[in-house]
């Protein structure tokens, strides 16, 4: 029998400084927390002074938070045609890994970005270098050049890195030209990077549902994900219900049990997370996130 316990938390604001996050997390009932270490929209990262680091770690310990995870800014794009954006993304994600290690965070998660690829709905055949993948009734494009470019940039990000924080790729909802909507594509990128510091994925339930993974048919969906990337690669779960229908390709989070995924599916997701000791982070609006945390804890059974 596994002795570890699946923990529940949510994304926490760092307004006024990261040292304020642990108290906010505890007030919401978090056992773990997710934070930004800088503005997600851009700008210079706040300095992590020795005093600030000490205060953050002490408060994290005093508030009995078991794990801290860091989310990279929204503007990361490893597949941009613009060299400045692409290499800037490498610099920022590497910096976030270093900052997370200093703060004692376990993981840094990032999206991969988007690429200028042809929309298959506008053409009867894929453009050069692309394969069309049929999935859940949707035509999807897997761009071989995009996979290579993302892997190249991630390798540069991790080159010489020796910190303790591990990198996770978060799956996307698949809107427009966003990369990482399928676990098959993410698995290929992870394989090409081939680094112990790239530990696996942060699986977002809403993003995956929007990309065609139907959590209401839980056994079939888990079997599919296992075949595409392997269950052991799921290191963290973003637990979000969905405002939009299956395969909508829209990133729209809803409170647990109030969306299209629904409460029964989440009971299965929580049982899976508990069995495999995978922590869960909520990214729902804060006026109800405390209630969402309690729902997940209730489903967990302790």
Per-residue pLDDT averaged across 232-246, rounded? Answer: 98
Residue 116 — pLDDT band, cuts 50, 70, 90? low
What is the pLDDT averaged over residues 149-155?
97
Domains in the chain: ranges and CATH: 8-300 (3.20.20.150)
How would DSSP label each residue in 33-102?
A: EEE-SS-TT-SPPPP--HHHHHHHHHHHHHTT--EEEEEPPTT--TT-S-HHHHHHHHHHHHHHHHHHHH
If you average pLDDT over residues 84-106, what whole number do you get? 98
* pLDDT tens-digit readout, 243-254: 999 999 999 999
* pTM recorded for the entire structure: 0.90
pLDDT digits (tens, 9 = 90+) for 168-212: 999 999 887 899 999 999 999 999 999 999 999 999 999 999 999
């Amino acid at each position: 029998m596994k002795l570890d316990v699946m923990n529940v938390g949510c994304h926490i604001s760092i307004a006024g400084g990261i040292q304020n996050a642990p108290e906010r997390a505890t007030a919401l009932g978090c056992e773990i927390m997710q934070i930004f270490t800088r503005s997600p929209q851009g700008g210079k990262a706040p300095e992590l002074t020795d005093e600030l680091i000490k205060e953050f770690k002490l408060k994290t310990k005093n508030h009995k938070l078991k794990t801290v995870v860091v989310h990279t800014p929204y503007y990361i794009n490893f597949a941009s045609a613009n060299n400045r954006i692409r290499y800037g993304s490498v610099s920022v994600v590497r910096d976030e890994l270093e900052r997370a290690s200093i703060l004692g965070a376990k993981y840094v998660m990032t999206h991969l970005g988007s690429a200028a690829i042809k929309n298959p709905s506008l053409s009867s055949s894929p453009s050069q270098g692309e394969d069309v993948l049929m999935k859940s009734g949707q035509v999807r494009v897997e761009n071989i050049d995009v996979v290579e470019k993302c892997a190249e940039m991630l390798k540069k990000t991790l080159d010489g890195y020796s910190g303790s924080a591990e990198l996770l790729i978060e799956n996307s909802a698949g809107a427009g030209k966003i990369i990482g909507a399928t676990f098959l594509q993410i698995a290929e990128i992870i394989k090409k990077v081939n680094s112990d510091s790239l530990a696996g994925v942060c699986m977002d339930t809403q993003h995956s549902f929007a990309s065609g993974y139907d959590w209401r048919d839980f056994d079939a969906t888990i079997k599919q994900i296992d075949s595409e990337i392997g269950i052991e690669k799921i290191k963290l779960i973003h637990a979000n219900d969905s405002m939009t229908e299956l395969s909508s390709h829209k990133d729209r989070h809803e409170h647990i049990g109030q969306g299209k995924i629904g409460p029964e599916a989440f009971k299965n997701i929580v049982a899976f997370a508990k069995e495999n000791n995978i922590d869960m982070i909520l990214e729902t609006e804060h006026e109800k996130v405390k209630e969402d945390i309690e729902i997940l804890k209730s489903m967990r059974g302790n």
